[in-house]
Amino acid sequence: MANSSQLKSINFEDFKFDFSGGDVIGHYAIDRPVFEWKSRRFLKVKVFKEDNRERAEKEMRFLRKLQGCPYFYAIFGHIRGFEKYDYAVDMWAAGCILAGSIFHTKRIFNAKEDHKQLFKIANILGGKELLDSAREYEIAVDKELERNIRKFKGLGFQSLKRKYCEITATEEAIDLVEKLLVYDHKKRLTAKEALNHPYFSKIHKENLGEMEGTTKDTIVEQLSDLINKQLSISEEDNYPEIDISRELGSGTYGVVYYASVARSNYEFAVKHPFTISQIGFARKIKILDALKGCPNVNRFLGSIIWDTFCSLQNTFFLVFEYVNETSWYAIYDKISSEELRNYLRQMFTALDGCHSRGIMHCDIKPNWGLSTFYEENAFYNTGIGSIPYLSPELLLNYPKYNYSVDIWPMGCIVASAIFRKKFLFDGTRQDYLLEEILKVFGSECFLQFCRDYHINIHPEQVDRRYLGHQRKDWSKFITDENREIATAEAVDLVKKLLVFDPRQRLTAKQALKHDYFKLTLRTTSIQVATQKLQNK
């Protein structure tokens, strides 16, 4: 905000503003979010209407008085009248914000009154240390206040660590907080020193092998810089060795790019999640790390945490090995029996690997998506997965689901292939999908599930579309076109995967032992024996 005299001293041609954000319109002015590319800062511009010049000048005078005003992030020097502060006062505020983020609390020292805020600070950093620092800078402290402050021994930031924040409250993160939230303002890190702390711009380098002429560590670092360039942060730097040439795909949760290294055979897939918090990103990395070594799972190479942007957007990237993909929907109605067995065996092996590591996939479909760790008897978000692969328990909002939530979509994929149907249950909305499922399983399955799993429904509240359906035998899906691939073993596998009650479904491990997969071994043995006889 600036008055007319101030505007003369600003050369707006030196700046490049992006006014792409939405407006917040009020009675007196319009707020616009702005990204200024030259300084790479997010700003807010407040534009007053012409007939509100007096109000604008009044607000400017008020804001000038508020400069440096302490709030929850104020240091004790502000509270007790210490006026000789410097840039370090901002580092205290930054430390409070960081601590709040890593310990999952809105405000680390949350108090409405000055003396109570001092107590909150002293409880963590120590009362004696606070008083010693006050004496060093000749800050007068009331005797009663001093007596109360001295009671606090200083629990330290490690005392705030809980199981729910162990992913974000790492040793590096806590160490940075400890070096920012220091009583003596002269001993706090500067902003430049903080940026050089190991906590920032950390590149996960596990599971990366050496490469000819360079290392995959270097490549991940160069990818970080190249992504920076692609997002218009840098216009001068040039990295000719790595090329992000095309977009592989995008969806609800992010976009994936193809990256390759010049004069080599190394290819990567770089995923940029759209909306994800630092906590969510750390959780995703933990899951991907847990999947290392899991058979038939795309190898996770590393992650890039980009901290140039002020917001959480455009910050996190995941790097995977590149695997050439063939769309399932292009082959589901053409795939042969042997190809299907091989494909399904690999999928069940991968799924068994996930489950054995305590991970529910939660979005099984021909290409994979969501995932989360499983805890027995825990309640989970039911707004997950992809239509038309959602299981009945998800459609009925049953929150205590388990690994069997991944088995239902596997059954849908098997049925899709053997019955030559793109989708076994084709519904564009969840209520339509449930109706399609009940046309096959019958309404009694639905009512029995609600009784068994204590889902309270009133007869008058039940959608009439869900009632009156009779169970349909799987043999009704067999036609002359699919009879060759819809064998008795294949249909039996579908029956044992697509069970309305999740407790009755096969596990991934049990599915791998089904006769459908044993048939491949028997066929192979016969072929080998026949070949030996022919050779004689």
**What's the pLDDT tens digit per position in 97-136?**
888 888 878 778 877 777 788 888 999 999 999 899 888 8
Tens of pLDDT, residue by residue over 426-465, are: 877 888 898 899 999 999 998 898 888 888 766 555 677 8
Region 79-99 average pLDDT: 71
| Confidence at residue 206, expressed as pLDDT on a 0 to 100 scale | 35
Q: Are residues 343 and 484 in the same domain?
A: yes
Which is it for strands 29-36 and 214-215: parallel, antiparallel or unpaired? unpaired
How many CB atoms are closer than 10 A to CB 54? Answer: 9
3-class SS letters over 274-335: CCCCHHHHHHHHHHHHHCCCCCCCCCEEEEEECCCCCCCCCCEEEEEECCCCCCHHHCCCCC
- Degrees to nearest 5, angle at CA 375 with 164 and 106: 20
Position 205 pLDDT exceeds 80: no
Q: What is the pLDDT of residues 23-35, one digit of tens each?
A: 444 444 555 444 4
Q: Are 150 and 127 in contact (CB under 8 A)?
A: yes
What pairing do the DSSP bridges indicate for beta strands 300-305 and 372-373? Answer: unpaired
Residues 373 and 429 in one domain: yes
Are 241 and 226 in contact by the 8 Å Cβ rule? The answer is no
Flag whether 12 is in a domain. yes
300-305/254-261 β-pairing:
unpaired
CA–CA distances in Å: residue 438 to residues 48, 241, 290, 417, 467: 59, 55, 37, 21, 8
CB 455 within 8 A of CB 398: yes
- Check whether residue 20 and residue 146 sit in a common domain: no
| Separation of alpha carbons 54 and 195, rounded Å | 42
Report residue 438 as tokens.
């009940």
For the chain, what is the domain count?
Answer: 4
User: What is the crossing angle of helices 114-125 and 127-136, to 10°?
Assistant: 110
Report DSSP state, residue 374: -
What average pLDDT does range 223-251 have in this prediction?
A: 55
Query: Which is more confidently placed, 182 or 224?
Result: 182
Query: What's the confidence (pLDDT) of residue 470?
Result: 94
Which domain covers residue 428, as residue numbers? 331-522
Domain boundary residue, one of 146, 169, 195: 195
Residue 497 lies in a domain: yes
DSSP label at 233?
Answer: S
pTM of the model: 0.53
Selected residue with higher pLDDT from 226 and 173: 173
Count of residues for the chain?
536
Q: Is residue 307 part of a domain?
A: yes
- Would the CA dihedral through 433, 439, 440, 443 be positive or negative? positive
**pLDDT band for position 71 (50/70/90)?**
very low
Assess contact for 98 and 176: CB atoms under 8 A.
yes
Domain closes at, from 138, 161, 195: 195
Q: How high is the pLDDT of residue 217? A: 53
Positions marked active-site? 363
Q: Which residues contact 533 (CB under 8 A, 6 or more apart)?
A: none
Cα–Cα distance for residue pair 446/295, rounded to 1 Å: 36
Most confident by average pLDDT, 184-188, 195-199, 226-230: 184-188
For residues 127 and 152, is the Cβ–Cβ distance under 8 A?
A: yes
456 and 364 in a single domain? The answer is yes
pLDDT, greater one: 134 or 367: 134
Which of the two residues, 200 and 522, has the higher pLDDT score?
200
In this structure, are 310 and 422 located in the same domain? no
For residue range 375-419, what is the model confidence (pLDDT) as tens digits?
454 444 444 557 788 999 988 888 888 899 999 999 999 999 999
pLDDT for residue 510: 96
DSSP 405: G
Kindly report the number of other CB atoms within 10 A of residue 387's CB atom: 16
* CATH value at residue 339: 1.10.510.10
Q: Is residue 154 part of a domain?
A: yes
Are 433 and 425 contacting, i.e. CB atoms less than 8 angstroms apart? Answer: yes
Q: Give CA torsion, residues 388, 419, 343, 290, to 10 deg.
A: 30
DSSP state of 185: G
Answer whether residue 367 is part of any domain: yes
Answer yes or no: do 268 and 363 share one domain. no
Alpha carbon of 516 to those of 96, 235, 498, 519, 526: distances in Å?
59, 57, 15, 6, 16
Q: Calculate what percentage of the chain has a pLDDT beyond 70.
A: 63
Angle CA(455)–CA(392)–CA(354) in degrees, nearest 5? Answer: 115
CB atoms within 10 A of CB 73: 19
Q: Is residue 530 part of a domain?
A: no
Average pLDDT, the chain: 73
Higher pLDDT: 486 or 531? It is 486
Across residues 242-252, what is the average pLDDT?
A: 72
441 and 479, same domain (yes or no): yes
According to the model, what pLDDT value does residue 440 have? Answer: 94
The reply to whether 261 falls in a domain is yes
pLDDT of 211 higher than 70: no
49 is known to lie in a ligand binding site: no
Structure token digits, residue 443: 């309404």
Residue 94 lies in a domain: yes
Q: Say yes or no: 337 and 286 in one domain.
A: no
| 193 pLDDT more than 80 | yes
Kindly state whether residues 269 and 186 are assigned to the same domain. Answer: no
User: What pLDDT does residue 7 have?
Assistant: 29
Predicted pLDDT of residue 209: 38
274, 349: one domain = no
**Which range scores top for mean pLDDT: 93-107, 249-263, 423-437, 475-489?**
475-489
Tell me how far apart the alpha carbons of residues 177 and 199 are, in angstroms, rounded to a whole number: 10
Pair (188, 125) in one structural domain = yes
Cβ-contact 282, 336 below 8 angstroms:
no
Which segment, 7-21, 66-80, 166-180, is predicted with the most confidence on average?
Answer: 166-180
pLDDT of residue 464: 78
- CATH number for the domain spanning 293: value is 3.30.200.20
- Rounded average pLDDT over 179-199: 88
Give the residues across from 270 on adjacent strands.
257, 319
For β-strands 254-261 and 267-273, DSSP reports them as antiparallel
Q: Is the pLDDT of residue 76 over 70?
A: no
Whether 159 and 187 map to the same domain: the answer is: yes
